[in-house]
Amino acid sequence: MPLTLALGAACGAVARYGAGLWLDRHPLPWGTLLVNTIGCFLFGFIAAHAMSEGASQTTLFLAAFCGTFTTVSSFALQSLILRRKNGTGRAAFYISLHLILCLPALYAGHSLAASYLSPGGTTTSHVAPANENAQTSSNPLPSEASAISATCGHIASPSLSPHAR
């Protein structure tokens, strides 16, 4: 498993670097926006798959790829630089684009995976639906999904279960 995570992370870092070289020469850092949007879509898909089917080596590779491909730290720094160089308006526009594109992309990826994974658009999940009266363990995810969650910022949480819509 550690080698799978390392390979996925290495591939994500190289892909991120390439996207930056290709797109970040413009007034707005489009490369970061593009990789964060694509990464959110991919990670939504991966999270739904891991919750429904359990994680495989491929799933862990892709989760590690997304963890290094998407770059919140770059996004935050670029937002600060835009604010300092071009004012609050341009920085607010850039931040807004991330929220407008990345959050729906994550949801779309998750929804696509949920509908793809089982006939009729419903999935069976390893994660039980939330119940206020039920006692839950401190880690309701399968061990592989927990590894994915730890790898990519705790995105694969029970609240993203297809049953929580």
What is the per-residue pLDDT for 163?
A: 43
CA distance 60 to 134: 30
Structure tokens at 165: 């819509």
Alpha-helix residue ranges (DSSP H) falling in the chain? 2-23, 30-53, 57-69, 72-86, 88-117, 143-151
Per-residue model confidence as pLDDT tens digits over 87-115: 999 999 999 999 999 999 999 999 999 88
pLDDT score at 1: 80
53 pLDDT above the threshold of 50: yes
Residue whose token pair is 């964060």: 36
Confirm whether pTM is higher than 0.75: no
What are 121's two structure tokens?
């658009």
Residue 51 confidence (pLDDT) above 80: no
